[in-house]
């Protein structure tokens, strides 16, 4: 495969990641460990990733969503939750996230 400037890009397959997701991956209960392992599965298949984030909206009346992210530079996964009402804070109003 070639990019617009004709630089070769290594091709990679998602099949091993899909197999992992439907076997041991779907059995993992700790979200930080899941995202950490998913990142390593993707890298093992040749995916050129430096970061991975998985975000889910929740039905919790106090928490609007939960995210877990992994960074290659530290090889650590971290869990974060976003409280409801964040869209009314000074930090959010006028931020790029509000624009999105």
- Residues of the chain predicted below pLDDT 50: 1-3, 7
Beta-carbon count within 10 A of 98 CB = 10
Instruction: Return the pLDDT at 9.
Output: 58
pLDDT, tens digit (0-9, with 9 covering 90-100), for 78-96: 988 877 777 778 877 888 8
Instruction: Return the pLDDT at 2.
Output: 44
Beta-carbon count within 10 A of 81 CB = 12
Residue extents of the structural domains in the chain: 15-99
């Amino acid at each position: 495969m070639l990019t617009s400037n004709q630089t070769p890009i290594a091709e990679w397959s998602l099949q091993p990641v899909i197999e992992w997701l439907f076997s041991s991956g779907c059995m993992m209960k700790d979200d930080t460990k899941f995202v950490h392992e998913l990142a390593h599965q993707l890298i093992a298949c040749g995916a050129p990733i430096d970061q991975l984030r998985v975000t889910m909206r929740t039905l919790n009346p106090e928490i609007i969503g939960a995210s877990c992210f992994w960074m290659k530079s530290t090889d650590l996964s971290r869990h974060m939750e976003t409280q409801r009402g964040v869209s009314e804070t000074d930090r959010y109003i006028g931020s790029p996230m509000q624009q999105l």
